[in-house]
Structure 1
Amino acid sequence: MKALKPISWRKFLSADPNHQVVGVDEVGRGCLAGPVYAAAVSFKSGKFTNLVTDSKLLSAERREELAAGILLHHQVGIGFATVEEIDEINILQASLLAMRRAVEKLEIVCGHILIDGNMKIPNMPSQYEQTTVVKGDLRVALISAASIVAKVTRDQLMKDMATQYPHYGFDSHKGYSTAVHKKSISVHGPCIHHRRTFAGVKEYLTLVP
């Protein structure tokens, strides 16, 4: 496989002192349960700024360590779209909504948003430029940082959810479509945290009141 060429987030900087470069990524898009989360990160110091890796390639312990450092040293916004919103507007639109909410949490005056993937965020104010980067979490440090924060935040939510619904195993698979997860849905039926429009869930809605 051909190595992906890194992209420096600094090339998007502006002479405007209010201008910030922001990396954005989402997590949980392919899950059967739980909200979709997104994080937006703007670097404020030199710490953790050279990290370029997919959050899924890191151990859980390393992700948590890095997320704590990113949250401590940089400006971070976290957004999500609920299961109800996912079922109402579809997962793609919900993912974009979560990303917009994450950027809005930063409350920046103007900036250039670097987005993982190939779709820009709709309904963003005109003071934000947007650039999409395919495999951005493997190429742009800002997007990598956003990916790590989003995953750690969502994973913790799924662990908390597992204490309420232990028979689904949310703490292990985090809501993804694993064989164990699909089996538990077929036995117990979906719970309130499952995405009812998704294949693997909607077939078992008759199992619950």
Structure 2
Amino acid sequence: MKKIKKLRSSAINKSATFHFEAQLGYQGVAGIDEAGYGAWAGPVAVCAVMLNVRSFPEELQKIVYDSKHLKIKMRTLIHDIFVSNPEYGVSYVEMVWPEEIHQLNVLNATLCGMERALLKFVPQPSHALIDGPRRIPFLSKDITQHPIIKGDQKSYSIAMASIIAKVQRDLLMKEMHQQYPLYGWDTNKGYGTKKHEEALKMFGCCPYHRKGYKIKGLQTRLN
């Protein structure tokens, strides 16, 4: 409860809503988003969330928004509060690793990860609110899909999924940095930075880099 109190003075000018969840009757609605789509290394983290609207606290409603608009400490605090209070909802994270990305391409691999995350729910959701314009083409027809552009700024379910995906992927990249410290993943999280680029030029890539990516400034693709 002390963590919840910390949020009372942290409300931002923007927040998501339950508008889309309400249109679908609140029950059986999952929000889904990803983190790490544009990175050079590491997985894409996909998260699916089903919120318990009745118990989802007002303090969280005032602060839950697109993870990219929240500071690291705030993202982490929201994540920790949510995962430690199962009465607020259920979440599942699926990591889509570079091998699958190389085989399918990043878009198709991410869509596969979204399907796997959604199918972890028991019972399965009736509706999936998906951040962005795309549907999951091979998802069961029993789950109605609702793509929403900038959904992480509009739906609490998607926004919470974006926060959980971001926090858990960042933690994983810090762990992977211990194994491959040359690339600065503790700070760049696998994304393209000058330090990351220079390390690739000097040392080449490692097994966690996404094979086949063409990076401007490098002579060849990552391989």
Q: Compute the TM-score of the two structures, normalised by the length of structure 2.
A: 0.82
C-alpha distance in structure 1 between counterparts of 2:174 and 2:35, whole Å: 15
Does the aligned pair in 2 maintain the 1:42–1:75 contact within 8 Å? yes
Alignment correspondent of 1:101: 116
Alignment correspondent of 1:142: 157
- Identity among equivalent positions (%) equals 35
Which segments of structure 1 move beyond 4 Å, counting only runs of 4 or more?
Answer: 3-7, 49-52
CA RMSD between the two structures: 2.2
Give the 5 Å matches for 1:1-209: 8-14=19-25, 19-44=27-52, 45-47=55-57, 48-49=60-61, 51-71=63-83, 72=85, 73-200=88-215, 203=220
SS at structure 2 position matched to 1:119: coil
SS at structure 2 position matched to 1:127: coil
Structure 1 residues 126-171: Cα deviation after superposition (integer angstroms, max 9, x where no partner): 2111101001111111111000000001101100000011111001
Structure 1 residues 44-83: Cα deviation after superposition (integer angstroms, max 9, x where no partner): 2222345442202211111111111222331101112111
Structure 1 residues 125 and 202: CA distance shift in structure 2, 3 A: farther
Structure 2 unaligned regions, length at least 5: 1-13
The amino acid of 1:150's aligned partner reads A
Does the aligned pair in 1 maintain the 2:210–2:222 contact within 8 Å? no
Does the aligned pair in 2 maintain the 1:52–1:140 contact within 8 Å? no
Count of paired positions:
201
SS at structure 1 position matched to 2:45: strand
Q: Compute the TM-score of the two structures, normalised by the length of structure 1.
A: 0.88
C-alpha distance in structure 2 between counterparts of 1:121 and 1:205, whole Å: 28
Alpha-carbon offset, residue 101 of structure 1:
1.4
Alpha-carbon offset, residue 193 of structure 1:
0.4
C-alpha distance in structure 1 between counterparts of 2:169 and 2:189, whole Å: 8
